Structure 1
Amino acid sequence: MVKLIAVDLDGTLLNENNQVSNENLEAIKLAQTLGVEVVVATGRAYFDVKAIFKDTGLKTWIIGANGATIHQPNGELFHSVPINRVEALNILDWLEQEGFYYEVFSNDSIITPQNGRELLAIEMDRVTSGNPDVGIEQLKHAAEKQYSQTGFSFIHSCQDLAQTELNFYNILAFSFDEDKLKRGRAHFGEKTDLTIVSSAKHNFELEHRDASKGIALKILANKLNINIGATAAVGDSFNDLSMLGVAGRSAAMGNAPKEIKESCHEVTLSNVEDGVAHYIYSLIRDNSK
């Protein structure tokens, strides 16, 4: 019997308009009334998730920043694993030298460079002028989705953070330059004290090595006295693999890449077809048998 369901957000619970559909909302609330714990597990910051849920009446556990934070349904921080401050500043210094747009998830804001959006605009022009087959509208949509988050705070450079006491939970690097992304992934892939994942085509994300959705799911299941075998998880991207791998049951969204589908027990419908609701209802039916 499934007692806890972990649900990814972007590309999973959220539809093409970055909204939670009524069907998905009703399915989650039904699961909760039946005594099943629901946790949203996302690469987004906690406060950004709360803004998305503001008018839904939904209250769940939230695994944020790819597992670096866990917040209780009442909003209290239960668990966190920040990146070492010296390491974080070194990461940001390297990203600035390489000309990356980046975001740093802290306690109550998403910190990003003042010139970051200008950098991405320049990259868009360069990529589309060099490759006419690449659609500018698709790139603009990807950038606008990144900018649609809540809680941005702008800095001139990472040196502005050197004297602060902020916690740094997640560092996201974003670029439309594939070679630049490859260099970044290769550079940080050699770091044994970091976890590196990708949640979308144009990014990679860095957390403490002890932070991942899978680790956070284990911590939360233990907190709630739920055997990890009695958990289920659903997601669509590579940053979901750690939780899809540890959950007792796993489902890939219909819009997920082939590699994600092959790693899961089953495949549900896509995020524009209320795939989360479809999966939750199937779990509830199995629980009632």
Structure 2
Amino acid sequence: MSILKYPLFVSDIDGTLVNRVKKIPDANKQTLAAFRRHGGLFTLATGRSYIEAKHFIEELEVQLPVILCNGALIYDPSTDVLSPTATIEREIVFDTLVELEKLKEVFDIFVYTPERVYATGISSFSRSAIEEGEFPMEMIDTFDHIPQVPLIKLVVVSKEETMQQFRKWMHQVNHPLELVQSADSYFEILPSNVSKGNAVRSLAERLDLTVEQCAVIGDHLNDLPMVEVAGISAAVANAHPKLVQAARHVMPSNEDAGVAHFIRRHLLATAPQAQGQ
């Protein structure tokens, strides 16, 4: 039995666990190891797909189910199985794409399935953000060519100065969808009731824990639902202002190993002699 007050710790990846060059600081690795030695359970919650998150899962030897695509997809390392928690009906996806494509001159649109990401084009702006070899994208002539597989989410990418058209469109959506900003230039369109918060709640139940026994940390608005439900929460210093306001604690930035600071100050503090180990 864990001696920790918050035995389950869930961390966002981009802007939180990793630094600007997408590496996990050694301090984060070391404190995560100490947290686990004292009975702590750890997993990731990210907007990334499985392929994009795979090397972090392996590097940290994550054993618990991993929350992917902002809660729309779960990967269980123990069975090596990807499971959608919800999907968007194909008709709704294509209705939404028709509306979005009217604004195509300022957006890149990506459609996520459990295994692949589909696009009909990609700008240099989006391409610069893609990690080589880790984005399972397939270019197609038209979205009609997407195979008959579960549709997990849509991602809209644009420079901030051209995002106003999308923001206006957001307020006109009639379908039962969740729209959330996951980075300064990224908006995600998810199945109804899908969020990191609901995924954390479900994971806690699976582990026979209460959500009040969960600790979370993040940096952007897609992390807000899990910050709002967890027993203890933190935002890194580089986080979106709304997340900083909502989180119970504010840690140093992702560049300064904010995750490590959170673990030492607030998670291991409940374990005798843990902080120096």
Q: What range is the shorter-chain TM-score in?
A: 0.7 to 0.9
The verdict on how the C-alpha distance between 1:260 and 1:89 changes in structure 2, with shifts beyond 3 A counting, is: same
- SS in structure 2 opposite 1:87? helix
Shift of 1:236: 0.6
Aligned 1:90-101 pairs, distance under 5 A: 90-99=95-104, 100-101=107-108
Which of 174, 179, 184 does residue 196 from structure 1 map onto?
A: 179
The verdict on how the C-alpha distance between 1:270 and 1:29 changes in structure 2, with shifts beyond 3 A counting, is: same
What are the superposed Cα offsets for residues 63-119 of structure 1, whole Å, 9 maximum, x if unpaired?
Answer: 011110122233323552111111112222222231121112211112122x322xx
Structure 2 residue 250 is matched with structure 1 residue 245: no
The answer to whether the Cα contact below 8 Å between 2:43 and 2:63 also exists between their aligned partners in 1 is no
Which of 103, 106, 109 does residue 110 from structure 2 map onto?
A: 103
Structure 2 residue 21 is matched with structure 1 residue 17: yes
Match of 1:40 in 2: 44
- Identical aligned residues as a percent: 26
What CA distance in whole angstroms lies between the structure 2 residues aligned with 1:154 and 1:59? Answer: 33
What CA distance in whole angstroms lies between the structure 1 residues aligned with 2:117 and 2:84? Answer: 19
The verdict on how the C-alpha distance between 1:175 and 1:244 changes in structure 2, with shifts beyond 3 A counting, is: same
Match of 2:70 in 1: 66
Shift of 1:287: 2.1
What CA distance in whole angstroms lies between the structure 2 residues aligned with 1:233 and 1:244? Answer: 6
Kindly indicate which of the two structures has a greater share of residues assigned to helix: 1
The verdict on how the C-alpha distance between 1:285 and 1:177 changes in structure 2, with shifts beyond 3 A counting, is: closer
Shift of 1:193: 0.6
Which of 163, 186, 208 does residue 168 from structure 2 map onto?
A: 186
Instruction: Please list every run of 5 or more consecutive structure 1 residues that lacks an aligned counterpart in the other structure.
Output: 122-139
1:160 is aligned with what amino acid? H
Which of 71, 80, 93 does residue 88 from structure 1 map onto?
A: 93
Which of 48, 53, 57 does residue 49 from structure 1 map onto?
A: 53
Superposed CA RMSD:
2.0
- SS in structure 1 opposite 2:51? helix
Q: TM-score, normalised by structure 2?
A: 0.87
2:164 is aligned with what amino acid? K
Match of 2:264 in 1: 281
The answer to whether the Cα contact below 8 Å between 2:82 and 2:114 also exists between their aligned partners in 1 is no
Shift of 1:250: 0.6
2:255 is aligned with what amino acid? V
1:35 is aligned with what amino acid? G
The verdict on how the C-alpha distance between 1:272 and 1:27 changes in structure 2, with shifts beyond 3 A counting, is: same
What CA distance in whole angstroms lies between the structure 2 residues aligned with 1:56 and 1:195? Answer: 30
- SS in structure 2 opposite 1:272? helix
The verdict on how the C-alpha distance between 1:42 and 1:222 changes in structure 2, with shifts beyond 3 A counting, is: same
What CA distance in whole angstroms lies between the structure 2 residues aligned with 1:53 and 1:220? Answer: 17
Q: TM-score, normalised by structure 1?
A: 0.84
What CA distance in whole angstroms lies between the structure 1 residues aligned with 2:148 and 2:231? Answer: 39
The answer to whether the Cα contact below 8 Å between 1:66 and 1:170 also exists between their aligned partners in 2 is no
Task: Select between 147-156 and 242-251 the one with higher mean Cα deviation.
Answer: 147-156
Match of 2:135 in 1: 150
